[in-house]
Amino acid sequence: MAESNDAVSLDMEKIYLGGKEHFIRTGCGSVSVIVYGDQEKPALITYPDLALNHMSCFQGLFFCPEAASLLLHNFCIYHISPPGHELGAASIFPDDPVPSVDDLADQILEVLNFFGLGAVMCMGVTAGAYILSLFAMKYRERVLGLILVSPLCKSPSWTEWFYNKVMSNMLYFYGMCGLLKECLLQRYFSKEVRGSAEVPESDIVQACRKLLEERQSSNVFRFLQAINRRPDITEGLKSLRCRTLIFVGDSSPFHSEALHMTAKLDRRYSALVEVQACGSMVTEEQPHAMLIPMEYFFMGYGLYRPCHFSDSPRSPLSPSCISPELLSPESMGLKLKPIKTRVSLGR
């Protein structure tokens, strides 16, 4: 079924804890965007990893009170789901062409244009981080900054390519089966929270497992195909001039990829935070580890947490209260030196 290139809002909206869901028709299909907060504020868009949506990928971060106050005080949040990954999604028509990663990046542009947004802050996890990085390279003037969690930037290694092919075959023949869910949970979480024969899996893993059951396997298959065919975007990273903050768990299967990406970015504008005893999805497993680095990152834009100052939520700028060096892009890499956060595993 041919789609119009002009984004059109379908008259379908749902309320999720104060958020409103919009279905936007784009050149490569309909996409769900859930909007939280005051649309007069600067925009922060999110994009989740494979088989996830905002509920399973960013809920932990936004349920962390300090992080929620920092983000919702300063931004209106636009949670973009990969096609067919939203809650209650039906299977995408089999004859619809599978979008490429370029198509998915272009789809973000259509979403921004639909809402009348200019330059936005971006936050993505793994596959979603790749899509947002590609978007930033293609449309530099539309990106204020990037917050990337366990990001991808190279084309798949033979190991990842083979692993993805195995998951594709399971999706195609068996759907969202138990073994596939285990593969995905290993992708997202560290062994500390996945549990063992002696230790039960954590609540966040149980919740994610339940949410995975709701995904349409054919829709996940399509996103996985796009990600498994992604090109290497390493060469374009040096040209990025927006500030970039990278988080990665030291137990993430994509830890080395995040280090590679950090090495290729301009050090004046980028910083790496390695989170110990954590998998890929820092937003869910250790969201508190993201708070202090994000606070410093946003200070460079004149943004802060409301408990620090009493200015109007509509006017988050207060340069006189912020150290001048934090407002300098050249100093950001110095302020955000690569650090490791430590947590006690003793309970």
Predicted local distance difference test score (pLDDT) of residue 326: 36
What mean pLDDT do residues 223-230 have? 97
- The Cα–Cα gap between 55 and 269 comes to 30
What mean pLDDT do residues 188-215 have? 92
Question: Over 90: is that where the pLDDT of 17 sits?
Answer: no
Contacts of residue 98, defined as CB under 8 A and 6 or more positions apart, other chains included, come to 222, 225, 226
Predicted local distance difference test score (pLDDT) of residue 307: 58
DSSP string for 115-179: HT--SEEEEEETHHHHHHHHHHHH-GGGEEEEEEES---SPPPHHHHHHHHHHHHHHHHH-S-HH
DSSP state of 93: P
pLDDT class for 196, splitting at 50, 70, 90? Answer: confident
The H or E element spanning position 16 is strand 15-16
Question: Over 50: is that where the pLDDT of 320 sits?
Answer: no
Predicted local distance difference test score (pLDDT) of residue 24: 96
pLDDT class for 7, splitting at 50, 70, 90? Answer: very low
Query: Which pTM does this prediction carry?
Result: 0.86
Mean pLDDT check: name the lowest of 54-68, 164-178, 320-334: 320-334
Predicted local distance difference test score (pLDDT) of residue 340: 52
Predicted local distance difference test score (pLDDT) of residue 306: 75
Question: Over 60: is that where the pLDDT of 277 sits?
Answer: yes
End-to-end CA distance of the chain: 54
What mean pLDDT do residues 147-168 have? 96
Predicted local distance difference test score (pLDDT) of residue 225: 97
pLDDT class for 173, splitting at 50, 70, 90? Answer: very high
Contacts of residue 157, defined as CB under 8 A and 6 or more positions apart, other chains included, come to none
- The Cα–Cα gap between 289 and 186 comes to 20
What mean pLDDT do residues 7-28 have? 67
Predicted local distance difference test score (pLDDT) of residue 344: 36
pLDDT class for 280, splitting at 50, 70, 90? Answer: very high
Question: Over 90: is that where the pLDDT of 19 sits?
Answer: no
Predicted local distance difference test score (pLDDT) of residue 304: 84
Predicted local distance difference test score (pLDDT) of residue 328: 41
Q: What is the mean pLDDT of the chain?
A: 86
- The Cα–Cα gap between 22 and 15 comes to 10
| Segment 34-49, tens digit of pLDDT | 999 999 999 999 999 9
Predicted local distance difference test score (pLDDT) of residue 103: 98
Q: Which CATH class is domain 18-298?
A: alpha beta
Q: How do strand 19-26 and strand 29-36 relate by DSSP bridges? A: antiparallel
Predicted local distance difference test score (pLDDT) of residue 343: 41
Question: Over 50: is that where the pLDDT of 311 sits?
Answer: no
DSSP string for 223-241: HHHHHHTPPP-HHHHTT--
Q: Which residues pair with 272 in a beta bridge?
A: 246
| Segment 124-151, tens digit of pLDDT | 999 999 999 999 999 999 999 999 999 9
